[in-house]
Amino acid sequence: MTSLILICHAPLGHALHAVACHAFGRYIAEVVVADIAANSSLDDAVATIETTWKQEGQPQQVVLLGDILGATPCNAACAWLSLHPEINACGLTGVSVPMMLKAFTYRELPPKELVEKLADTVSPSCAPLAPTS
């Protein structure tokens, strides 16, 4: 099962998670949130993602869903991906409620296949995340 981590400007991640819980009529523990404070540095944001990942038991299949391409949460997600080439992880930016609900519904897919499936849901402003080099 692919773990889903929302990487968003605070409080957007928790708000999206609340919408998903409402839509499914239950608390969704399988989607975790790493809300990034507006004044976070890139290093602080990467540390937030790392802590969230570790708290979830360091899953080996992860999809990161970010909010805005080029913003600190997105840049931190890319930096975090580059720190963990040993795991099957990838990401997508431009998260929306439909994208998140679709991700949760199809999380049995491996990360790359899930991101490809989600790409059908996104607008042209969304883009896959890649590790920084």
- From first to last of its 133 residues, the chain has per-residue pLDDT tens of 999 999 999 999 999 999 999 999 999 998 999 999 999 999 999 999 999 999 999 999 999 999 999 999 999 999 999 999 999 999 999 898 889 899 999 999 999 999 999 987 765 555 667 777 6
Which residues make Cβ contacts (< 8 Å) with residue 9, sequence separation at least 6?
35, 36, 38, 67, 68, 71, 72, 73
Can you list the domains of the chain with their CATH numbers?
3-129 (3.40.50.510)
pLDDT reported for residue 105: 93
pTM for the full model?
0.89
What's the residue count for the chain? Answer: 133
